[in-house]
């Protein structure tokens, strides 16, 4: 049995190596696009929130903020107010922040590994900053971003009502620090940088698969043979297809009408395969991704329905020209020429930083 699994594993690695050689041009373009997404979307939307979340963890400030929510959380959600505060922070901060907060609770033995996976499945949202960097670029109406955010938030809130009843929570008795020390700030910045580096590295890794998919014309084949009857263009289908793997690719989706809004909400609520891998990496495998995957499918359907209803109620009288803006390249965004060495240089620097952050091990030389 082990020999068979090893043979399969070796075959997959050899096949992957061959595909990387055959489609090196497509992979290079995909990596360049991924670095652009990291610079233009991921870094601006998540870095500040990651630092703040680390400060919350190190100072236990969330236990003080939770006081107004204690009665609501215990009565309705059957959970301590501190955990409900973690849920609220995760909704505002963005995708992997909830996993970071929940992982911290597991390490402090306030939550079991099994229950951590359950809570991480609902402490999961794109966050307003990420929304403004994706949906906000194409719609000149911020109420649309609010509708998308609330659709994802309400679906998570409904699922939290049921999931929280199956979890065993330990009360958090840590008192918050009166002052944030310089050490806390420096450590928070450092930890946030390491977490963000893992995220960006995973996005770049996923872009390799995106390059192979483009080289194989896989999305073209699926569209022509399965989804050709849909009332969407091939480019739209391709953007949706690659967004399932990496949600940052949502920026490539052109919004020609509000009909695409519920689909965008569904994708944002689901999060994408890359986000699941980021959670697994950031949590050091404390969080089991398979449960999150199944829960996010349910949440994305709820979000789609809520957004579709909201679109009918609030935006039925709006014309497309009043809401949709031309998706032009703005002058303040970072651009990388396809022949520029910046992409390769950044990838090299990130690799060096990641190696430096690894714990050092001492090896004895055998004589």
Alpha carbons 49 and 56: distance in angstroms, whole number: 10
The first and second tokens of residue 260, run together, are 């695409």
Residue 67 Cα to chain centre, angstroms:
29
Phi, psi of 139 (to 5 degrees): -115, 130
pLDDT tens digits in sequence order for the chain, 367 residues long:
677 777 888 888 898 889 889 988 889 888 888 888 888 777 777 788 778 877 877 777 766 777 778 888 888 988 888 888 889 888 888 887 888 888 888 887 888 888 888 899 999 998 887 887 777 766 766 788 889 999 999 999 999 999 988 888 776 555 555 567 777 788 888 888 887 888 888 888 888 988 998 888 888 888 888 877 777 788 888 888 888 988 888 877 776 667 888 999 999 999 889 889 888 877 777 788 888 999 999 999 999 999 999 988 887 766 555 555 543 343 344 444 444 555 555 555 555 555 555 555 444 444 4
Task: Give 139's strand partners.
Answer: 324
Which tokens hold the place of 280? 């697994």
Crossing angle of helices 95-107/113-120, nearest 10°? 160
Would you give the DSSP letter of residue 116?
H
The SS3 of residue 257 is: coil
Question: How far is 52 from 70, CA to CA, in rounded Å?
Answer: 22
Q: What is the DSSP letter of 105?
A: H
Measure CA 4 to chain center. 35
Neighbouring-strand partners of residue 324: 139
Tokens found for residue 235: 């480019």
Does residue 294 contact residue 271 with C-beta atoms inside 8 Å?
no
Closest residue by Cα to residue 99 from 302, 270, 298, 286: 286
Identify the residue whose tokens are 């390059």.
Answer: 211
- Is this model's pTM higher than 0.85 or not? no
| Neighbouring C-beta atoms of residue 16, cutoff 10 Å | 13
List the structure tokens of 142: 């911020």
């Amino acid at each position: 049995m082990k020999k068979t699994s090893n043979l399969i594993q070796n075959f997959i690695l050899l096949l992957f190596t061959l595909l990387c050689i055959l489609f090196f041009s497509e992979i290079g373009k995909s990596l360049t696009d991924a670095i652009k997404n990291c610079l233009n979307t991921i870094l601006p939307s998540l870095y500040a929130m990651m630092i703040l979340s680390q400060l919350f963890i190190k100072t236990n400030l969330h236990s003080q903020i939770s006081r107004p929510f204690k009665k609501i959380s215990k009565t309705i959600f059957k959970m301590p107010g501190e955990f409900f505060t973690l849920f609220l922070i995760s909704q505002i901060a963005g995708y992997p922040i909830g996993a970071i907060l929940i992982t911290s609770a597991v390490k402090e033995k306030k939550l079991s590994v099994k229950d951590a996976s359950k809570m991480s499945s609902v402490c999961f949202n794109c966050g307003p900053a990420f929304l403004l960097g994706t949906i906000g670029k194409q719609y000149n109406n911020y109420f649309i971003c609010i509708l998308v955010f609330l659709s994802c938030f309400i679906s998570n809130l409904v699922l939290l009502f049921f999931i929280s009843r199956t979890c065993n929570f330990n009360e958090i008795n840590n008192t918050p620090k009166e002052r944030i020390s310089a050490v806390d700030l420096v450590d928070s910045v450092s930890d946030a940088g390491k977490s963000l580096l893992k995220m960006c590295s995973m996005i770049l890794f996923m872009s390799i698969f995106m390059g192979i998919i483009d080289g194989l014309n896989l999305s073209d084949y699926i569209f022509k043979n399965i989804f050709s009857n849909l009332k969407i263009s091939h480019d739209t289908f391709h953007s949706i297809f690659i967004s399932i793997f990496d949600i940052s690719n949502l920026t490539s989706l052109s919004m020609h009408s509000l009909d695409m809004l519920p689909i965008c909400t569904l994708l944002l609520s689901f999060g994408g395969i890359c986000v699941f891998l980021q959670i697994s990496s950031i949590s050091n495998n404390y969080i089991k991704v398979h449960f999150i995957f199944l829960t996010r499918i349910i949440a994305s359907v709820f979000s789609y329905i809520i957004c579709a209803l909201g679109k009918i109620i609030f935006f039925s009288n709006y014309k497309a020209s009043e809401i949709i803006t031309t998706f032009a390249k703005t002058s303040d965004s970072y651009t990388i020429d396809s022949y520029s060495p910046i992409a390769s240089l950044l990838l090299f620097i990130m690799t060096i930083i990641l190696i430096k952050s690894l714990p050092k091990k001492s090896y004895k030389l055998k004589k």
